[in-house]
């Protein structure tokens, strides 16, 4: 089944980053609230030279804290071509520079007019198309180049692509486990398919699933990674040795996420998700089956 939710304009997908950054009168860094429309955080950061805690979509209306090395003024507003714009409002100083991941989560306000849905209180924490589409195959090619000795030092983009491939493997290994536990449907977007279970049994499902790396234990995920990697042309031990060579330690990611502050108002749904979880993935889980 195709993913049916569409955004017609940036205001259909509003995101407010939630973070707790202590402000200090004698701090050496300058914290601003950034409001933006139609432009990505990364693109704007490259132009304005600020640091940030999380990336926000381009085709959305978003609010987040960013950090500058120098004072930019109390209030800055700039219009860009195609209805794009950004606003900076000075909040205060901080002693430490803002870094990736320094946030609690995000609040969403999503226009669901015309979208068939049934609200749920939890969903599988898959990586969404923003992360993997058009990237995981390229990431696999980077890993093969490392295996063949053609690559030693990776550029930023190559590291990003490798992370995208590891995210894809995380999704696929967890999918195998889920299909043993319950039935479900597939939702497709941009050529990527996601298995959406009919129910989430929190008692049977591990709370965390391993992101592959040489320092993290596989726990419940090992037999599923073995199957997925075999289909990809790797043996598990061989793949872990490549990750050791690349100094990729691995991590643990929540298998499912509970949605907080969920409500419906005037054709929109409002909810909070912890950092790393995708609002669009929640929408995939609540899409109602067409009868």
Dump the DSSP string for 148-162: TTS-SS--HHHHHHH
The answer to pTM > 0.85 is yes
Domain locations in the chain as residue ranges: 10-107, 122-256
Decide if domain 10-107 falls under CATH 3.30.2350.20. Answer: yes
Per-residue pLDDT of the chain (291 residues; tens, 9 = 90+): 999 999 999 999 999 999 989 999 999 999 999 999 999 999 999 999 999 999 998 999 999 999 999 999 999 999 999 999 999 999 999 999 999 999 999 999 999 999 999 999 999 999 999 999 999 999 999 999 998 888 778 898 999 999 999 999 999 999 999 999 999 999 999 999 999 999 999 999 999 999 999 999 999 999 999 999 999 999 999 999 999 999 999 999 999 999 999 999 999 999 999 999 999 999 999 999 754
d(CA 32, CA 228): 44
209, 253 in Cβ contact below 8 A? yes
CA 180 to chain centre: 26
d(CA 187, CA 185): 7
């Amino acid at each position: 089944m195709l993913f049916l939710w569409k955004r017609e304009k940036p205001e259909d997908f509003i995101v407010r980053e939630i973070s707790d950054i202590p402000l200090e009168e004698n701090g050496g860094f300058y914290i601003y609230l950034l409001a933006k429309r139609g432009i990505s955080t990364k693109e704007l950061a490259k132009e304005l030279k600020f640091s940030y805690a999380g990336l926000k979509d381009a085709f959305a209306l978003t609010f987040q804290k960013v950090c500058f090395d120098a004072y930019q003024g109390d209030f800055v507003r700039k219009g860009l071509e195609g209805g794009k714009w950004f606003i900076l409002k000075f909040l205060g100083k901080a002693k430490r520079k803002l870094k990736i991941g320094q946030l609690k989560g995000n609040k969403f306000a999503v226009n669901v007019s015309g979208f068939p849905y049934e609200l749920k209180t939890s969903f599988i924490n898959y990586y969404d198309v923003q992360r993997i589409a058009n990237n995981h195959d390229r990431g696999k090619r980077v890993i093969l180049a490392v295996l063949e000795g053609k690559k030693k030092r990776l550029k930023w983009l190559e590291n990003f692509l490798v992370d995208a491939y590891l995210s894809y493997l995380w999704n696929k290994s967890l999918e195998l486990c889920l299909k043993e536990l319950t039935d479900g449907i597939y939702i497709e977007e941009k050529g990527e398919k996601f298995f959406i279970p009919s129910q989430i049994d929190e008692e049977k499902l591990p709370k965390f699933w391993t992101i592959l790396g040489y320092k993290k234990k596989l726990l419940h995920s090992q037999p599923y990674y073995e199957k997925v990697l075999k289909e990809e042309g790797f043996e598990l031990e061989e793949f872990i040795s490549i990750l050791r060579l690349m100094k990729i330690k691995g991590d643990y990611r929540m298998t499912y996420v509970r949605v907080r502050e969920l409500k419906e108002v005037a054709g929109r749904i409002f909810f909070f998700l912890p950092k790393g979880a995708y609002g669009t993935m929640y929408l995939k889980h609540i899409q109602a089956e067409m009868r």
